[in-house]
Amino acid sequence: MSFTESLVDLVARNPNGLLSAHQTWCRVPLGLVCDVQNGFPFESRYFNSSGDGMPLLRIRDVVRGSSETYYSGEYDPAFVVKAGDIVVGMDGDFNCRVWRGVPALLNQRVCRLIPSSDCYSSALLAKVIQGYLDAINSSTSSITVKHLSSQTILEIPLPLPPLREQQGIVEAIDSCLSRVDAASAGLEGVRAKVKSYRASVLKAAVEGRLVPTEASLARADKRDYEAAEELLRHILKERRRRWEETELTRLRASGKPPKDDKWKAKYKEPAAPEASGLPELPDGWCWAALPQLGELNRGKSKHRPRNDPRLLGGKYPFVQTGDIRNAKTWLRTFEDTYSDFGLAQSRLWPAGTLCITIAANIAETAILGFDACFPDSVVGFLQDDPILTRYVEMFFRTAKRRLDQYAPATAQKNINLDALSKLAVPLPPRNEQLRMVEEFDRLFSVSSAIDDYGSANLRRCVRLRQAVLKWAFEGKLVDQDPTDEPAERLLTRIRTERASLNPLQKGGSRKAQRAA
């Protein structure tokens, strides 16, 4: 059970407000110990990002603790939020944070919680409130954006421990969570180093530094070797042979068998990449274009699946950009399938095809582990040699930044087939590719194990954080002192204090409330 679930469950099981874990606690409506100040609807015509005026605290700024929006108009100082204030985003996820940024203006749909009683620790309030907001959010239905009212916040039933115990709970939570945070930071650091290590491995691979080059080994062994240029000639020769075989079959099937070899002149040799300005390659390597190395074509999707449900629900796997982005080298799972109708307007690519995304997330790659269809937002690279396919997949992991420059400057970045066709690929000899793939797999298996270990322990840190808060508000984190003033007596004191305030003080200042 999560922290939020435990709080909701405790409220449900204790309608009279007493917590079953200990009889010295009770519950108090947030409105008895705290005022809610709603933000002001500042005029957008005075908004700017040039730093003119005061920072404006908007909903999106609550979590990150800083604002990039400034307000240059006049304002009431009553709406200035300072470091240490508790702020709540009232739309979306209902996030609550202690503000750590510079003084900022409280914008509409953000509220500030202002403690109004010394009988409830503001530090305790900051730690307990998010769990309730999460519970409210999960039970709030909305077609678009969820909205939170200040009245709902005022009615939150806070746990009320004895005053001295409140301070002990805060100290215990801080002590435990500081260690959890330190562990999380250490694990994130490890994961960052793993990511950097993987990038360096990939860079070394495509620069000929991951394994000894075939040229250097051949010199040491005093033998010949097949350079990449020779490998490329073999690939191009085989490409032409297949085209001629397919074209001849087509001509014969049409009843027009060729009488001479003139039909062979129709063959179009793929263009080599523009090599000027490219870095020098290791001995035995050469530059090649993807169409020289294999078939390069976009997927087919004459009709969008969302526009025609007849396309889906059959036996043919249908993969999209999200599936490719989430895969790790090999794409072995899929969520959607095409029907026979869907296949008829698409193409079934064989297992071993390298999928390359050309929309949204540019140049994400994965190799099909099964026959599948994919839309025209994905390009397929098909080569019979699985080692060459793996090497090209490795290359794409390092080429993403260069590919991005071909994408137009729009919100939805795209890159076309022509740009991929002109991309220069550094091609090593075949035996060198094999050693590179083997070394790459070995190194990445080790780094993946470390990364998986870090991810698992980060999830444990999240659960531990929830457990610490759950224990704290079940009274299990701090020992109770029977000599402490009971919470019920403390609650009586709070009510007496509240009753002694005049009506204006009970609701906060008129300036604070006028932007409800």
Task: Give the residue among 122, 71, 117 at the shortest CA–CA distance from 99.
Answer: 122
Residue 487: half-sphere exposure toward Cβ, Cα within 13 Å: 21
Task: Give the residue among 89, 86, 52, 81 at the shortest CA–CA distance from 69.
Answer: 52
The domains of the chain are located at: 3-160+486-513, 163-253+431-479, 286-427
**Could you list the pLDDT tens digit for every one of the 516 residues in the chain?**
443 444 445 444 443 333 334 567 999 999 999 999 999 999 999 999 999 999 999 999 999 999 999 999 999 999 999 999 999 999 999 999 999 999 999 999 999 999 999 999 999 999 999 999 999 999 888 777 899 999 999 999 999 999 999 999 999 999 999 999 999 999 999 999 999 999 999 889 989 999 999 999 999 999 999 999 999 999 999 999 999 999 999 999 998 888 889 999 999 999 999 878 888 999 999 999 999 999 999 998 766 666 678 888 899 999 999 999 999 899 999 999 999 999 998 999 999 999 999 887 788 999 999 999 999 999 999 999 999 999 999 999 888 777 765 555 554 566 788 989 999 999 999 999 999 999 999 999 999 999 999 999 999 999 999 999 989 988 888 988 888 888 899 999 999 988 887 554 555 443 333 333
356 vs 349: CA distance, rounded Å: 13
3-160+486-513 folds as Adenine-n6-DNA-methyltransferase TaqI; Chain A, domain 2 (3.90.220)
Residue 159, judged by CB atoms within 10 A of its CB (0-12, 13-18, 19+), counts as buried
Distances (CA, A) of 150 to 96, 133, 159: 13, 12, 19
268 vs 91: CA distance, rounded Å: 59
Give 317-320 contacts, CB < 8 A, sequence gap 24+: 317/370, 317/371, 317/372, 317/373, 318/342, 318/346, 318/372, 318/373, 318/374, 319/355, 319/368, 319/372, 319/373, 319/374, 319/378, 320/374, 320/375, 320/377, 320/378
Instruction: Specify the amino acid at residue 101.
Output: G
With beta carbons less than 8 A apart as the criterion, state whether 162 and 484 touch.
yes
163 vs 176: CA distance, rounded Å: 20
pTM for the whole structure:
0.72
Pairing of strands 286-289, 424-427: antiparallel
49 vs 323: CA distance, rounded Å: 37
With beta carbons less than 8 A apart as the criterion, state whether 365 and 393 touch.
yes
Q: Are 3-160+486-513 and 286-427 in the same CATH fold?
A: yes
Q: Is the domain 286-427 a CATH 3.90.220.20 member?
A: yes
Instruction: Specify the amino acid at residue 194.
Output: V
